[in-house]
Structure 1
């Protein structure tokens, strides 16, 4: 169940991370004027953090078919 939660979080955050990744160069470019302002630098830093906040692992293939619980075999989903 935890892997499904991680995957759901990753899927829901993907559009925001993509926008953040695309925004950083613009926020740091002096042509647009954001880089010279404190708010622009803070926004660029926040976008960098958001862009890096992603699940970087994959579910391992444990291949555990069932476990014993109270003397009974219970399938692992």
Structure 2
């Protein structure tokens, strides 16, 4: 029987990321970039993105200060 690893949901990622910045290491206000899923993109305020839908991709939206304010899959 194959090993099944549960996928983190968008809500799980929201709990980890909302209100934090993405950086090189973890602390009270920063989440380490290397701990994000392989399929992710960081979307800066006002930045244009492609509209291709990839359900496994985590889209992390940050404001002008680099603080995460929205997390969605797609």
TM-score greater than 0.5 by the shorter chain: no
Larger Rg: 1
TM-score, normalised relative to structure 1:
0.25
1 or 2 for the larger relative contact order (CA 8 Å, sep ≥6)? 2
The TM-score with structure 2 as length reference comes to 0.25
Higher helix share: 1
Structure in which a larger fraction of residues adopt strand:
2
